[in-house]
Structure 1
Amino acid sequence: MKIHHLIFLTALLACEETTKPLFPAKEHGRVGFINIDGEFEIQPTYDEAKRFSEGLAAVRIDSLWGYIDSTGTMIIEPKFYEAGNFSSGRALVDLKYIGHAQAFINQLGSIVFKPTEYTSSFHEGFAKTEVNNRVGYYNLNGELEILTDYPYGDSFSEGIAKIWTGDSSRYINKKGETIIKLSGMGHGQFSEGLAGVRINGQNVYINKTGEVVIDNLNMVGVLFDFSDGMAKVTIPGVNHKSGFINRQGEIIIPVEHHMINDFHNGLAAFLEDGKWGFFNKKGEVAISPTFDYVEWEFGFEGGLCWVRKDGLRGYINKSGQFVWTQDDSYMYGNIDTSAWKLDTLETHSYLFADRSVFNNDPHTLTADTLNSIKLFVNPKEITPFADKYFGNKIYLINGTTDTLQIDAQDGQIELLQQALNEDGTWLYLENFIDSRCGNSYHDVQLPPNKYFVFSSPVFRGDFTTTLRYELSINRDSKIYSNEYQGTISKTQFLSGELGDF
């Protein structure tokens, strides 16, 4: 690595170490940043935000992304259609809404270079790319400093990158020199000085000279990276089980857990009887398994972890206590919308339907059983739509004694808004993309005496008409909501078939 690269990276790391951790959090439809105590350090004014990296955080205002510093000052004005985290002083951004138009910017927002092919983010001063089916690595100035003769590769980790083909793997340094060569593929990357590999049919860990340092792991079939001095090991199969070893190869957490994540900041999440809990590095249960979901990309990085429990979503500390929860209950009750910055939605094209059942737990009916399935829209009951617009609530109620099974795709049900055109014909105002992947399709179950709530946008337009919703329970069964009055733009009508776009 060149000397000025090293000085630059050292300065960035020093900056990061003095910055207190901040976490994106949403309140009244806008995102700000809280501290480890759950207090807003940067007020919620953004439409979307990502975590801080190297002193800056990407934030979205309307459709464009920019970057703020830890005081909330806008350092790079919003002008990008997507914005990645900073690493090695570079961030990967999109310059166009559609089409390949990537660029790397510096921390002043200036474009350093535009890759002509798909390129990953920078890691340790290099960004992985592919040129004519050969893995290569850009340096910070956008120069293709390393071009290998292998078709596949990983980003640099601890000064070493793994590249491979069908019958061999190589580990290279930042000069592009091969330091270790192994037969086959599927070997791990280096983390904390070790890499899990398979040599002569045996699972082992090697150091950066290629020397085997842990070789007593024949009982497992998959080795994972070290993190916090611990590495997950797994017996693969339909009922695969996992546990953890230390750097001496000693089993600390028994290989008997069906779902367990890597250690982050001293804790590892595990699943038991459908609930998530946390182990410490001694293999003891540090936080009892009571959580419905754990976001483990960041783990307890900075001291907080994002979880979901009993309908609540938010951050917990390492004692398992919520320090901040996101208020998602507004969908199920009457709220004061004056605290929200809402507007009616004016659009001149159809929308893609977004009726997600993820994080949308069914609620229990408090009224008498209806003895029917009902789809109901209440135009007088205002709720936020997409966090920015006034919306009406859509109730899907199962008042029968049977569980209602609804066809779904990637967590979305086909619940679409329709309106009467000038000829009195019902036309769609929303589209629904059919996936070509068979794994995308599944069933959503709504138990007896339960209901879902979704949000319907309140449109602003010059055409007054009648609206309703259509739900496809399956290919052969549809139900419709009550009809209500509203305004739209005539250009919102979908002219083609569903799934066309």
Structure 2
Amino acid sequence: MISRKILFLLMLLSGVAACNFPKDKPLFIFTEHGKVGFIDQQGKIIIPPVYAEADDFSEGLAAVRSDGYFGYIDPSGKMIISAAYDRAEAFHNGMALVYKGTQAQYINKQGKLVFTSSYAKVDRFKNGYAQITTTTQMMGVIDSIGHLVVDTIYNHLLYYNKNLIFLHKAYENHRDSFGAINLNGKMVLPFSRFQLLEIAEKGYFIGQTYPVNNRTIYMLMDTTLHEIYRSDTSNYTLEAYSNGRIIATKRDSINHINYSQVIDTTGKIWYRDEGRIRPYKNNRAIVEKGEGENIVIDPYGHTIDTCYNIETYEFDYGVAFVQKSNNDEEEYWMIDTCGHRLGKHSFHSIKAVHLQGEYYEFSKGEFIGIVDKKGNIVVPAVFDSEYPVEIRDGIIKGKINNAIVYLNYDHKVVRATRPDPTKRPLNISEQRSGYTYVLSAGKELDLPPGFEPFPQPQPITAANNFRPGQLQIRVRTDTSILFEAKYLGYPLLIANTTTKPIDIDTQDSGLYLVLQAYYNNRWVDVEYLMDVICNDSYGTETLGPQQYWMTTCPQYTGSIKTDLRYKLANNVDSTTHTYIFSNVFKGSINPGQLWREKKHY
């Protein structure tokens, strides 16, 4: 329960600071008894909680799912576009991306099909164009009716505006090359010129040419490809450009910085230092002097302030969080671009920024609070740091004492929803990643706080009633247990009834185990395993003879009733995997679970 003291404090917060939130009447998602609905800024229920899943409103419509499929409702709760999609994204520029099976489609606000897409990913449209990605991770551009404008032969699209698209292409000899093409398909910056092209500031780029006679040229250009400045000094690197100033560094043969300097586009040097100079933001740059000491300079190299450690947000929005003494307490002050302290408070750390610098999350111990851009405490450190804080359209949402709390722009609690004690099956519209972790006998791992210990082998008894002489999986659907402490699950047992130990392949002690559903006369994976790129993650866990692991699997619920089973892969590095299947049991899933991993969109 939320303490009366905290609630009383929150209700008095309107006297602590004033907020300038938008004055319209947006709706906010809330959850009650396992269902999702919408409230207004006063906490009044506008759309009752009847949905299994919902997204925020965008352009007057919100995607919702009652059973297995998504549709779109208006702010009154009326279904405008019928529920017919495995997944439905938000509307932007009058169109939304939806999926029927793996088929991506774009529809308008009347629910009419605009075009279909065969690409693995389509980004949001911008200025009438959208970036696309193929299943082989190659990129291109389409227009608003789905026509291919830039062919899918590029590794990366750096940036595009109304006229130009900047491209990255990797060749077979591992030589990277960068170029630019216009929206008529004409190459205006050939790939033979630059080995690196980076966005310096909106409207400007830094290009690095291929070396000729061990000399590399760095060029600052605008988006018309007009050259603003060039440097052809050996090992003299243009690092950044912003606020009319170039940050350049001189490096030695092993890439250590000898010195950095601030220059303008005429080549005039305004400041030089042996330390690193970070890019200008709001006409202020941070110079790292060493031993934790920093100074703040203006575009003319004048020192504005001296400080020690500085948090991530280095004058992004005209303020920075710095330490004024080199001690171990790590207390940060908030300063403006003149070096003046804002407010009287100090903070352990700054966790996030909201509404383009209007508000910041700060931490005090294990809790999160909100401070505005003037250094005033808007909400004291009462939010649970494990739950994300949201600030938008006049509502501050966070978690306090296990309850989700909504504060309005006067900082009064308009609604507080407590956890539903009822444990339910898992009702989702996407595939879950692998969750079955085990350990060999006697093995221990240092797990982060909140993680349950991984199961270790237990001795098999006659009461287990396993089949003799084999590695086997059994799902016990005759009893329910908790999965991840909040959903209904089943006991899942993996047993070795042979006379020898069996090594089973793992990634970070996670088994290659996924659930399958019988659909359209074949078995289909409805869970997936995340790719691990660290070689140290791959290994084995050993299950001794006459031993078993007992873990937990989720009970799913959905609109498709079908047969389910688990599939365990072993010998994954060999040309022929070994598969072990569990008993078949009855269950239900949603359509999106047949194909939709989170990385699909």
With normalisation by structure 2, the TM-score equals: 0.46
Q: CA deviation at 1:113?
A: 0.7
Matches within 5 A, 1:106-145: 106-121=108-123, 122-129=125-132, 136-145=140-149
Contact 1:205 / 1:213 at 8 angstroms: preserved in 2? yes
1:207 aligns with 222
Q: Which residue, 182, 186, 192 being the options, matches 2:202?
A: 192
SS at match of 1:128: strand
Matches within 5 A, 1:393-408: none
Q: CA deviation at 1:241?
A: 7.9
Contact 2:64 / 2:72 at 8 angstroms: preserved in 1? yes
SS at match of 2:224: coil
SS at match of 2:93: coil
Contact 2:108 / 2:114 at 8 angstroms: preserved in 1? yes
1:161 aligns with 165
Count of aligned residue pairs for this structure pair? 401
Aligned CA distance change for structure 1 residues 232 and 315 (closer, same or farther; 3 Å):
farther
Q: Distance in 2 between matches of 1:201 and 1:71?
A: 62
Q: Distance in 2 between matches of 1:346 and 1:54?
A: 27
Aligned CA distance change for structure 1 residues 476 and 303 (closer, same or farther; 3 Å):
farther
2:91 aligns with 86
Amino acid at match of 1:126: Y
Q: Distance in 2 between matches of 1:343 and 1:128?
A: 39
Q: Distance in 1 between matches of 2:143 and 2:106?
A: 11
Q: Distance in 1 between matches of 2:188 and 2:226?
A: 12
Contact 2:348 / 2:362 at 8 angstroms: preserved in 1? no
Aligned CA distance change for structure 1 residues 71 and 91 (closer, same or farther; 3 Å):
same
- The structure, 1 or 2, with the larger RCO (C-alpha pairs under 8 Å, 6+ apart) is 2
Q: Distance in 1 between matches of 2:245 and 2:433?
A: 44
Contact 1:136 / 1:146 at 8 angstroms: preserved in 2? yes
Amino acid at match of 2:105: A
Contact 2:507 / 2:532 at 8 angstroms: preserved in 1? no
1:170 aligns with 179
Matches within 5 A, 1:341-380: 343=424, 354=435, 362=449
With normalisation by structure 1, the TM-score equals: 0.53
1:456 aligns with none
Amino acid at match of 2:221: I
Q: Distance in 2 between matches of 1:241 and 1:496?
A: 51
Amino acid at match of 1:208: T
**Residue deviations 1:271-304 (CA, integer Å, cap 9, x gap):** 999999897773978796546965x7xx535967
Q: What CA RMSD, in Å, does the superposition of the two structures yield over aligned residues?
A: 6.7
Amino acid at match of 2:72: Y
Amino acid at match of 1:300: L
Q: Which residue, 514, 521, 532 being the options, matches 1:437?
A: 532
Q: Distance in 2 between matches of 1:251 and 1:390?
A: 53
Aligned CA distance change for structure 1 residues 431 and 192 (closer, same or farther; 3 Å):
closer
1:282 aligns with 337
Contact 2:317 / 2:356 at 8 angstroms: preserved in 1? yes
Q: Distance in 2 between matches of 1:117 and 1:383?
A: 39
SS at match of 2:208: strand
Q: Distance in 2 between matches of 1:408 and 1:133?
A: 27
Q: Distance in 1 between matches of 2:316 and 2:30?
A: 21
Aligned CA distance change for structure 1 residues 251 and 262 (closer, same or farther; 3 Å):
closer
Amino acid at match of 1:282: T
Q: CA deviation at 1:152?
A: 4.9
Q: Distance in 2 between matches of 1:194 and 1:144?
A: 27
Contact 1:104 / 1:112 at 8 angstroms: preserved in 2? yes
Q: Distance in 1 between matches of 2:30 and 2:361?
A: 10
SS at match of 2:534: helix
**Residue deviations 1:10-58 (CA, integer Å, cap 9, x gap):** xxxxxxx996666656566445567789998766554444455444444
1:325 aligns with 398
1:251 aligns with 285
Unaligned ranges ≥5, structure 2: 1-21, 171-175, 210-214, 258-274, 295-308, 384-395, 404-416, 438-446, 459-477, 493-504, 515-524, 556-560, 573-578, 582-601
1:104 aligned onto 2:106: yes
**Residue deviations 1:119-139 (CA, integer Å, cap 9, x gap):** 522222112347999965322
SS at match of 1:127: strand
Contact 1:151 / 1:165 at 8 angstroms: preserved in 2? yes
Q: Which residue, 61, 70, 77 being the options, matches 1:65?
A: 70
Aligned CA distance change for structure 1 residues 413 and 215 (closer, same or farther; 3 Å):
same
Q: Distance in 1 between matches of 2:378 and 2:247?
A: 23
Which structure would you say has the larger Rg? 2
Contact 1:134 / 1:151 at 8 angstroms: preserved in 2? yes
Q: Distance in 1 between matches of 2:183 and 2:115?
A: 20
Matches within 5 A, 1:17-56: 29-31=34-36, 45-56=50-61
Contact 2:206 / 2:238 at 8 angstroms: preserved in 1? no
Q: Distance in 2 between matches of 1:160 and 1:36?
A: 42
Contact 2:281 / 2:314 at 8 angstroms: preserved in 1? no
